[in-house]
Structure 1
Amino acid sequence: MSSSRKQSNKKNKQNTNKEARILSDTLLTFLKSNPSAPLNTKQISSKLGFETKEEQDNIYKALQTLLLLGEIEEVQPGKFIARKPFQVLSGRVDYLSSGNAYVISPESEKDIFIHARYLANAYHGDIVKVVLFPKKGGSPEGEVLEVVERGKSEWVGTLAGSPTNMYVNPDSNRIPFAIYIPLDVSKGASPGMKVVAQITDWPVQQGMDARGEILRVLGKSGENNAEMHAILEEYGLPYEFPPEVEEDAERISFDLPQAEIKKRRDFRDTLTFTIDPADAKDFDDALSLKELGDGKWEIGVHIADVSHYVTPGSRLDKEAVKRATSVYLVDRVVPMLPEKLSNGVCSLRPNEDKFTFSAVFVMNENAEVLEQWFGRTVIHSDRRFSYEEAQEIIEGKEDDFSAPILLLHKLAQIMRGHRFKDGALRVDQAEVKFLLDENGKPIDVYFKIQREANQLIEEFMLLANKKVTEFVALPKGKKRSRPFVYRVHDLPDESKLQDFASFVKTLGYHLELDNPKKISKNINALLAEVQDKPEGDMIRQLAIRSMAKAIYSTKNIGHYGLSFDYYTHFTSPIRRYPDVLVHRLLQTYLDDENANPKESDLEQLCNHSSERERLAAEAERASVKYKQVEFMLERVGRVYAGVITGVTEWGIYVEIEETRCEGMVRLREMRDDFYFFDEKRMAVFGKSRKKSYRLGDRVHVLVNKVDMDRRQIDLLFENL
């Protein structure tokens, strides 16, 4: 073959390849512009104007090439779409005890599941980049590409090993490795001590251990103080005030300056009292009552004027912002404000003059608000009642304060009835409480339920919170609301409600969801139906979990659970920072109705307060869990009645009715048969004997083992 002919063939081949690439690029561009409609060769040819058989054959070949290159995919036989590019998102790791994790990303509506083998060296709380796997429907899954930022480097745990080879076993099941501690950075701690360790060298992959140093020694593992401090450390909650903050608090006087008293509305001669828990010392609120005649009463809701003492930008204020909330563990209160303020200067103690911020209402016998007034006041509480003492009066005990308490009780019950008629949710739960000995050891467990005395205070606090919000949000003559801090509660997630309805159906109950306006009333009816049933507490908990979490925000969406269009927190500034903000904002608008605080600053404080509230609630639950497990430590071998509250592929969770402690019966310990988990029916079935265990079943269990380090109770079914 001549060289000129070879060159000609080579040139023709190059032209053919070039034409094929151009055609492939044209097809890919076209398919990308039609991402949702799978098309076949004939449809593509028609839309691009290729009509001859040769042109259609070339399109078919180009499609096959693109398919091999992974640029397109064949979603139906002979039908193609452009493959979506791999999506990379950023988010925070939520590590599971199973070793798997979820990544919570603001860029994804659903949390992204990450199998343990795709976690790389990412751990709980880390900010990571993940690539999503191509997937049709269902929950998104992905793989960690890199750790952008470590979320947490300090971990609480128990020091173990020998004096020359020590390591920390973290308390949290969200960290799957031990932390090796060299002797020269052990702070003199010895095995058996509860410590806070900082990781200095992270494991390069899952299954390896870390290296670190001891930051703080909390005490001996198992001792009450050490364990409670460990819980606070675990959630990043400070339990000591900086010395300079304590000093600032100590300089504040109990005396009320006459010049300041003259600026305030004086209620010291009006009948006033407080109703609080028997062991409370931080009295946030008081009620006053004065009869006006013609079936009208002046009722004052008086709230501790914390904002008078804690001024913006002060060291006291900065520390209060940092904490954002008081924390209520089983055996102690960790206050937002130093004790001099929380239990002293600000607390509305009896027989003392106190500065307050008040919401004052003129009401009739139908609990209708005829007039309202908001402003700074001075009060003198005539008496302090515990809830138990007030309840005795409501139930008929004679007392000098019987008339005012019974009147307020009557009005509170009317307001309560209106709330539930309007669609407010009834999700009150019994609170688990412990009787502790002098060493903090639980010697008894009991349940605290809400009674009419609690409801009396609750309804007037709700009234004040609601009316303050309406006053700010609905200013007369204004077209839009003013910047404010709202307490908001979103509508329930539809899929969670459907799951809840499906679950209660398996227990023989019906929850109607067709009419959105009646969902809350239908939930109330269901909860009333299961009130005294063994499975009632579990169903209440699941109902709460199906709801959104209430948060603080400058964007008002109303409060679904209370059925209020406008709501805030005004009534507990000693223990909640948002209430302090609300007091300041209210005074700002009382002084200048055209004031315009910076909304972005308020939103930042709202987000911070919501997060601190979440951490405090988790710490409170952790302290209850610890005491529940500790209480069961000396009850190994006893048999208790319980209710199945969870079913998994590895075991069955049972809540003991007498103590509300939850433990697990492991499937491997159920040796009378081979049991398997049916996820759809949320039940465990025996293969041979066909015995079943379902959510909500009432059972009897034996306490087999208690592990304080893991906070776990191992149970066995009785007579199995």
Structure 2
Amino acid sequence: MAANGRKIREQVLALLDRKGYRPLNKIDIARELGLTGTQRNALRKTLRELERAGAIAHIRKNRYVLPAEADLVAGKLSIHQAGYGFLTPETPGQPDIFIAAENIGTAMHGDRVVARISRDSPDDRIKGRREGRVIRILERAHDTIVGTLQRSPNFYYVVPDDPRFVHDVYVRPVAAVYDRRGRGAPKEDRRSQTAATVGDKVVVRLDAWESRHVNPEGEIIEVLGPATAPGIDVLSIIRKYHLPAEFPKDVLDQAERISEQIGARQLEGREDLRKEFIVTIDPDDARDFDDAIHVEKTKNGWQLGVHIADVAAYVEPGSAL
């Protein structure tokens, strides 16, 4: 924002917060601030930005007030899997606001929203709790979701992994969608890379959701694989939180340089059990093998040895690893 825009923003907020302020429209605000010419154009832009950010509220007769004056509160929405939610106000010290399921509208878990405090809901319905209704979504927390592809007789939908996303998402398939028995798949290719199968974990890009009377919709943008396949659970979490899926080159290079031979320095202070018959207890499809056991016959019975890899011995503080 230009310096002129920042100054006007500060002036507007100071005006609306002034003791005795009566709601004004943009023309009256410009007059009150002594703005002329291009400054008035900057004012219109500033008012739009402040309203979009939830810093001011637009009320009847195109007048502007601070949100609190219109019983409005901006904050982050947290939705329970049962459908209701709580708004955590951005203003420190304010209590959370209860949002009934029917008052959430098209907001989703994590969204930044504006809610209006309900005057017809007594604060003491549950002692100390205020109730409200979402009237505006300021910022979506998620543009994608991860879930499992399912099918009804007439359409396909995705059940989100996160139970706080309480609505199934209707989807348009990427190329082809078919069931495990291959129905709907092209004869020459029963499983192409661009096709999704019912039961697959998929990533869906969400469309704009305008009406709570219909489910949200979206498009499958990535097929992760069968939900029960090894590693898919980890990959789903990576996609859900937008984590990097590949290690940086310097990390891989350092890992490659680690010798598979155990040197004398590494044996210092350790007991060498390499002659024992030790077996891992990690499954065949594990991503790492760092737990193992061995048993040994003694004069008093059997002795069980439990072995856990000392990963820290290979990771130096401050290194790429």
**TM-score (norm: length of structure 2):** 0.52
Equivalent position of 1:119 in the other structure = 104
Residue 173 of structure 1 aligns with an amino acid whose one-letter code is: P
Report the Cα distance in structure 1 between the residues aligned to 2:88 and 2:105, rounded to whole angstroms. Answer: 17
Report the Cα distance in structure 2 between the residues aligned to 1:128 and 1:118, rounded to whole angstroms. Answer: 12
**Equivalent residues of 2:172, 2:220 under 8 A apart:** no
Equivalent position of 1:194 in the other structure = 201
**Equivalent residues of 1:90, 1:128 under 8 A apart:** yes
Equivalent position of 1:327 in the other structure = none
Report the Cα distance in structure 1 between the residues aligned to 2:243 and 2:319, rounded to whole angstroms. Answer: 19
**Equivalent residues of 2:76, 2:90 under 8 A apart:** no
Residue 115 of structure 1 aligns with an amino acid whose one-letter code is: A
Question: Which residues in structure 2 correspond to 1:435-474 (within 5 Å)?
Answer: 435-440=281-286
Residue 80 of structure 2 aligns with an amino acid whose one-letter code is: L
Residue 151 of structure 2 aligns with an amino acid whose one-letter code is: G
Equivalent position of 2:78 in the other structure = 94
Deviations 1:333-385 (A, max 9, x none): xxxxx3223x246x7x7999xxxxxxxxxxxxxxxxxxxxxxxxxxxx85236
Change (3 A) 1:185 1:147: farther
**Equivalent residues of 1:185, 1:214 under 8 A apart:** no
Q: Is 1:234 aligned to 2:240, yes or no?
A: yes
SS in 1 for 2:236: helix
Q: Is 1:165 aligned to 2:150, yes or no?
A: no
**Equivalent residues of 1:163, 1:190 under 8 A apart:** no
Residue 201 of structure 2 aligns with an amino acid whose one-letter code is: K
Deviations 1:440-482 (A, max 9, x none): 49xxx99xxxxxxx9xx9xxxxxxxxxxxxxxxxxxxxxxxxx
Equivalent position of 1:220 in the other structure = 226
Report the Cα distance in structure 2 between the residues aligned to 1:126 and 1:133, rounded to whole angstroms. Answer: 20
Report the Cα distance in structure 1 between the residues aligned to 2:135 and 2:234, rounded to whole angstroms. Answer: 37
SS in 2 for 1:384: helix
Residue 202 of structure 2 aligns with an amino acid whose one-letter code is: V
**Equivalent residues of 2:173, 2:220 under 8 A apart:** no
Report the Cα distance in structure 1 between the residues aligned to 2:144 and 2:175, rounded to whole angstroms. Answer: 14
Report the Cα distance in structure 1 between the residues aligned to 2:256 and 2:195, rounded to whole angstroms. Answer: 39
SS in 1 for 2:91: coil
SS in 2 for 1:123: coil
Equivalent position of 2:117 in the other structure = 132
Equivalent position of 1:205 in the other structure = 212
Residue 149 of structure 1 deviates from its aligned partner by 1.6
Question: Which residues in structure 2 correspond to 1:262-281 (within 5 Å)?
Answer: none
Instruction: Determine which of 266, 280, 283 is the counterpart of 1:384.
Output: 266
Change (3 A) 1:340 1:140: farther
**Equivalent residues of 2:173, 2:196 under 8 A apart:** no
**Equivalent residues of 1:196, 1:217 under 8 A apart:** yes
Residue 97 of structure 1 deviates from its aligned partner by 0.8
Residue 152 of structure 1 aligns with an amino acid whose one-letter code is: H
Segments of structure 2 that go 5 or more residues without pairing to the other structure are 1-18, 21-67, 177-193, 273-279, 293-309
Report the Cα distance in structure 1 between the residues aligned to 2:154 and 2:198, rounded to whole angstroms. Answer: 10
Change (3 A) 1:440 1:163: farther
Residue 339 of structure 1 aligns with an amino acid whose one-letter code is: L
**Equivalent residues of 1:133, 1:141 under 8 A apart:** yes
SS in 2 for 1:229: helix
Residue 113 of structure 1 deviates from its aligned partner by 2.2
Question: Which residues in structure 2 correspond to 1:587-598 (within 5 Å)?
Answer: none
Report the Cα distance in structure 2 between the residues aligned to 1:235 and 1:163, rounded to whole angstroms. Answer: 32
Larger radius of gyration: 1
SS in 2 for 1:222: coil
**TM-score (norm: length of structure 1):** 0.25
Segments of structure 1 that go 5 or more residues without pairing to the other structure are 1-31, 34-83, 250-337, 353-380, 399-433, 447-453, 458-569, 576-720
Residue 103 of structure 1 deviates from its aligned partner by 1.9
* Count of paired positions: 205
Residue 203 of structure 1 deviates from its aligned partner by 5.6
Residue 111 of structure 1 deviates from its aligned partner by 2.9
SS in 2 for 1:189: strand
**Equivalent residues of 1:163, 1:191 under 8 A apart:** no
Residue 165 of structure 1 deviates from its aligned partner by 2.8
**Equivalent residues of 2:200, 2:224 under 8 A apart:** yes
Residue 200 of structure 1 aligns with an amino acid whose one-letter code is: D
Residue 158 of structure 1 deviates from its aligned partner by 1.1
Residue 228 of structure 2 aligns with an amino acid whose one-letter code is: G
Residue 252 of structure 2 aligns with an amino acid whose one-letter code is: E
Residue 132 of structure 1 deviates from its aligned partner by 2.9
Residue 201 of structure 1 deviates from its aligned partner by 4.0
Percent pairwise identity: 25
Alpha-carbon RMSD = 4.1
SS in 2 for 1:340: helix
Q: Is 1:178 aligned to 2:172, yes or no?
A: no
Residue 239 of structure 2 aligns with an amino acid whose one-letter code is: E
Report the Cα distance in structure 2 between the residues aligned to 1:221 and 1:188, rounded to whole angstroms. Answer: 15
Change (3 A) 1:438 1:152: same
Residue 157 of structure 1 deviates from its aligned partner by 1.0
Change (3 A) 1:155 1:184: closer
Question: Which residues in structure 2 correspond to 1:336-415 (within 5 Å)?
Answer: 338-341=251-254, 343-344=255-256, 383-384=265-266
Report the Cα distance in structure 2 between the residues aligned to 1:351 and 1:216, rounded to whole angstroms. Answer: 41
